[in-house]
Amino acid sequence: MSQSVIHLAASRGEANHGWLHSWHSFSFANYFNPDRMHFGALRVLNDDTVDAGQGFGTHPHDNMEIISIPLEGDLEHKDSMNNVAVIKNGDIQVMSAGTGIYHSEYNKSRENRVKFLQIWVFPNKKNVTPRYDQITLNAADRHNKLQQIVSPNPEDAGVWIHQDAWFHLGQFDGGVETEYKFKGANHGLYVFNLSGNIEVSGQQLFTRDGYGIWDTPSVTIKAIVPSEFLLMEVSMNI
């Protein structure tokens, strides 16, 4: 029998630093909730808004897979691997921190804010050589279907990470329904509804609601109204 957990948007941890307004689905920084430490290998899901010209100064990471999905504006990235890049809506960025990296992220614009999802996934291999990648997605590939954006396989569509994890984006018109079949045993699916109203195997999700489900081979996803959502299938064994 399937098991599940619901994280309503308003129940997330909130951090407002003035230049940064962040909502944490799982414990992060000053937000600590023992019931929300992670969902399987999914450790962090931060919904960040950064003011114009502001950002995160250079800081370290190690042994974590870090995925950034810009939703609005331009985010400038610099790191200790000599990568300098600007990512915007339609792009996806991944870093395997491995043995250790330093990086910074700034809002490139002096006028407009930037919104992005910052996602951390526990790796299944420690102390790997750090790596960086980014791609530009075709938004048409998620209209009324699921667009794969993350997988464990370098040859697959999207970017890859050191973990049995598959991420998909969907942008569905109202009334569109699909079935998502899990790719691995002992996996769970965390659904983050970006906008609109969807139903996941009977569970209603509104804007920024999160829903985790496991011990089931598949789920049905239906858009009640035009909606955009992120699916994150991860191993529940860490």
pLDDT, tens digit, 9 for 90 and up, residues 137-160: 999 999 999 999 999 999 998 999
Q: Are residues 145 and 32 in the same domain?
A: no
**Res. 236: pLDDT tops 90:** yes
Query: What are 2-33's pLDDT values in tens digits?
Result: 999 999 999 999 999 999 999 999 999 999 99
Note down the domain range covering 63.
Answer: 13-136
Query: What are 190-217's pLDDT values in tens digits?
Result: 999 999 999 999 999 999 999 999 999 9
Domain termination site, one of 105, 136, 167: 136
- What's the pLDDT at 190? 99
Tokens of 218: 């598949």
Domain termination site, one of 113, 136, 159: 136
Q: Would 7 be classed as within a structural domain?
A: no
- What's the pLDDT at 47? 98
Coil/strand/helix, residue 10: helix
Report angle CA 116, 120, 126 to the nearest 5 degrees: 150
Domain termination site, one of 91, 112, 136: 136
Beta strands in 73-196 (DSSP E): 74-79, 84-88, 91-96, 101-107, 114-121, 131-136, 146-151, 159-160, 165-172, 177-181, 187-195
Q: What mean pLDDT value characterizes the chain?
A: 96
Q: How far apart are alpha carbons 11 and 34 in whole angstroms?
A: 14
Q: Are residues 191 and 211 in the same domain?
A: yes
- What's the pLDDT at 156? 93
**Res. 238: pLDDT tops 90:** no
- When pLDDT is cut at 50, 70 and 90, the band that residue 114 belongs to is very high
> In this structure, how many other beta carbons lie within 10 angstroms of the beta carbon of residue 220?
12
Q: Are residues 22 and 109 in the same domain?
A: yes
38: domain CATH number? 2.60.120.10
Q: Which of 40, 16, 232 is nearest to 117 (CA)?
A: 232
Q: Would 92 be classed as within a structural domain?
A: yes
Which pTM was predicted? 0.97
- When pLDDT is cut at 50, 70 and 90, the band that residue 134 belongs to is very high
Say what percent of the chain tops pLDDT 90. Answer: 97
Query: What are 73-87's pLDDT values in tens digits?
Result: 999 999 999 999 999
Query: What are 155-189's pLDDT values in tens digits?
Result: 998 999 999 999 999 999 999 999 999 999 999 99
- What's the pLDDT at 64? 98
Q: Are residues 87 and 130 in the same domain?
A: yes
